[in-house]
Amino acid sequence: MYQEEKSFTLRFSLEASFPDDYEGEEENQAWVREWETKIKADLLKVVFESLRQHQSWKTHVRNRGKSPSDEIEIVLARAFSQEIPKPQGFTLP
């Protein structure tokens, strides 16, 4: 089977700014937990809901060894196959 691939990257970079007197780790990275548990979860839900509307494409998550907190790869796959002609019925004369 011949297969072609194309990659598309949508990257999110998270940043948090704190006042000059911030000692570090005071809030125990609550802003990262908010991303992981709320924002990213909601985003993935919306992405998969949207992709499911395109029924000719199959969608699944693929893990390439990175932690899901660092990367989630979503695979969209579409199969093109030659239609095999159905046998024609016949009649006896």
* Those residues with Cβ within 8 angstroms of residue 61's Cβ, 6 or more apart along the chain or in another chain: 72, 73, 74, 75
For residue 78, the model assigns a pLDDT of: 92
pLDDT values of the chain reduced to their tens digit, one per residue, 93 residues: 888 999 999 999 999 888 888 877 767 888 999 999 999 999 999 999 999 999 999 999 998 888 988 999 999 999 887 666 666 666 666
Q: How many CA atoms lie within 13 A of 52 on its CB side?
A: 6
Under DSSP, the state recorded for 34 is H
Q: What DSSP line would sit under 38-59, residue for residue?
A: IIHHHHHHHHHHHHTT-TTSEE
